[in-house]
Chains A and B, each alone.
Chain A
Amino acid sequence: MTDVSFRRKARAWGRRQLYSFFSSLGTLLSHRVGTLMTVLVLGIAMALPLGLYVTVKNLRALDLQQDEWGTITVFLKSEAREQEALSLAGLINLDLGADAVPVSPEQGMEQFRAASGFGQALDVFEENPLPWVLLVTPEPVEGKEISIAVAALDDWLKDRDEVDFVQVDFKWLQRLAGLLELGQALVSVLTVLFAMAVIVVVANTIRLDVASRAEEIHVLSLVGAGNSFIRQPFLYSGFWYGLLGGLVSLVLFNLSLYYLRRPLEHLLDAYGNNFVVVNIGGAGPFVVLLAGGLLGLIGAWIAVQRYLRQIRDHGMLGRL
């Protein structure tokens, strides 16, 4: 008995949802220009954090692993021979527990020839001008800042007689990492700000929509519509706005990416990286659409609740 009445109620609820669903679609379609403008604004607002997010994600993909950053390039004095280079490498290995890879002038020249593209022009040198080089990497120690280990090595190496010059790449990499972290934080802040913007834009649109249909709401409530029946079509509208805004943002974003891909890859290739621009990937588009719809729903809810409360508190149901 109660089961039957529950099922009947559920079916009635479903039919009301269906009615609201189509009613909301009808409203959006009957105001095409207004809908389009709102959706465009939402799309642009959502494309900005999306773009920054993917930018940061791409920079991360440059694969900057912490333990490789500590590598110090040690240039020995030009008069230093192989024996001195190897013994210093052994000393670093034993005494300081750091990894030291010696690179001979010949190896260095070979690598330079390959990387620079000067090729045969380098044959002009009668004598190899490059010194012996040691690539020193401190052992990563759990819970110990790599910068401290690098600084200690730097100090120790500078005092050696056979060392000409110590180059630490660590600093700018650290700065880059800092910038990336800042970028990530910026993505978070922008996402929150623009999410709020989406809510506000949808809330305002729905507020105007509600105001322009005050007469209809009045009549509906006179013939026995409850708040949920009145609210429902507007919530669907809000959801549609957000969802379509998300769709537009994805389209805008992909168009921008298409336009930027070539120059980006050129730029990053010049840094010696075989680089492929990463898109949002995987579930990303669905997350964007769903988030858009949800934000729209929240905005619509706020606007309609406010109006319904006004009616209740001030009895704005007008004259009979």
Chain B
Amino acid sequence: MITFDHVTKKFQNGSRALRDVSFQLHAGEMVFITGHSGAGKSTLLRLILMLEKTTRGQVTVNGRNLTRTSSRFAPLVRREIGMIFQDHKLLSDKTVFDNVSLPLMIAGMRYQDIRKKVRAALDKVGLLGKEKSWPMMLSGGEQQRVGIARAIVGMPPILLADEPTGNLDPDLSRELFGLFRQLNAQGVTVLIASHDLALIRSMGCRVLVLSDGVLVDDIPAADIAGSAA
């Protein structure tokens, strides 16, 4: 589903964010990327979203080689990816319903269908009653779940999350990861960048470890599950 093939990303100031990173994510996998801040987790996600271009190497997402794709097609790539942000990135002047419906509006879907799908997505994250609320009226955990509803409303095959539990307490974090696992069970490929090691360990998923832009470890799910037990 997502393949990194000897990917190096150098920024214009010469600093190297990623060095010769190679890995492969299969469809239906749920994988964590971890590492201290500045290790290159965000850069890796930005490459998948076509917010950056690789300096060397190839990134392939959903069968499309992004290195050879014109930036004009970046919107098409992004529509196949549900992205969840640490700071939610909700629009404060739009209601929860309007925020969640954005990807469907962009796709030009019929309003009746949009209504149905938005309600389904909000139901899945447990916020069905909050359609007409404003993001500011919600707690941090609720806002994060609105962000997740927006990411999954278009039923993309891939879900990316950048430190989704960064601002949440342990209980909420655990709940959120449970939600990710549910989505994963329905066939969505999930890639989560996080430094919450304890939580990652408890999930029993494959873990990629980045350090200074180098992929230093790729721990299979079996080993993680073993250590958790």
- On A, residues with C-beta under 8 Å from B are 11-16, 19, 215-216, 218-227, 229, 312, 315, 317, 319-320
> Which one, A19, A222, A312, contacts B71 given CB within 8 A?
A312
Known: A224-B75, A224-B78. A315 touches B108 (CB 8 A): no
B58-87: which have CB < 8 Å to A?
71, 75-76, 78-79, 83, 85-86
Q: Is A225 a contact partner of B162 (Cβ separation < 8 A)?
A: no
Contacts of B86 in A (CB 8 A): 320
Tell yes or no: B46 within 8 A of A by CB: yes
For residue B98, which residue of chain A has the nearest CB?
A23
For residue B53, which residue of chain A has the nearest CB?
A315
B104-122: which have CB < 8 Å to A?
105-111
Tell yes or no: B219 within 8 A of A by CB: no
Tell yes or no: B103 within 8 A of A by CB: yes
Contacts of A319 in B (CB 8 A): 42
Q: How large is the interface on B (under 10, 10 to 19, 20 to 34, 35 or more residues)?
A: 20 to 34
Interface string of B114-141 (1 = CB under 8 A from A): 0000000000000000000000000000
- On B, residues with C-beta under 8 Å from A are 42, 45-46, 49, 51-52, 71, 75-76, 78-79, 83, 85-86, 89-91, 93, 102-103, 105-111, 150, 162
Known: A11-B108, A12-B108, A315-B51. A223 touches B103 (CB 8 A): yes
Contacts of B109 in A (CB 8 A): 12, 15
Q: Is A222 a contact partner of B89 (Cβ separation < 8 A)?
A: yes
B172 to chain A, nearest CB (A): 21
Known: A216-B91, A319-B42, A320-B85. A222 touches B49 (CB 8 A): yes
The CA-CA distance from A199 to B107 in the complex, in Å, is 31
Contacts of B75 in A (CB 8 A): 221, 224-227, 229
Contacts of A224 in B (CB 8 A): 75-76, 78-79, 103, 106-107
Contacts of B150 in A (CB 8 A): 223
Q: Is A13 a contact partner of B108 (Cβ separation < 8 A)?
A: yes
The CA-CA distance from A253 to B178 in the complex, in Å, is 67
The CA-CA distance from A251 to B203 in the complex, in Å, is 69
Q: Is B45 a contact partner of A320 (Cβ separation < 8 A)?
A: yes
Q: Is A225 a contact partner of B91 (Cβ separation < 8 A)?
A: no
Contacts of A216 in B (CB 8 A): 91, 93
Q: Can you name 30 A-B pairs with beta carbons within 8 Å?
A: A11-B108, A12-B108, A14-B108, A15-B105, A15-B109, A15-B110, A16-B108, A216-B91, A216-B93, A219-B90, A219-B102, A222-B83, A223-B78, A223-B102, A223-B103, A223-B106, A224-B78, A224-B103, A224-B107, A226-B75, A229-B75, A312-B71, A315-B52, A317-B51, A319-B42, A320-B42, A320-B46, A320-B49, A320-B51, A320-B162
The CA-CA distance from A223 to B93 in the complex, in Å, is 17
B189 to chain A, nearest CB (A): 17
Name the residue in A218, A219, A317, A320 with the highest tally of chain B Cβ atoms < 10 Å from its Cβ: A320
B210 to chain A, nearest CB (A): 15
Contacts of A221 in B (CB 8 A): 75, 78
A4 to chain B, nearest CB (A): 15
B8 to chain A, nearest CB (A): 18
The CA-CA distance from A223 to B75 in the complex, in Å, is 8
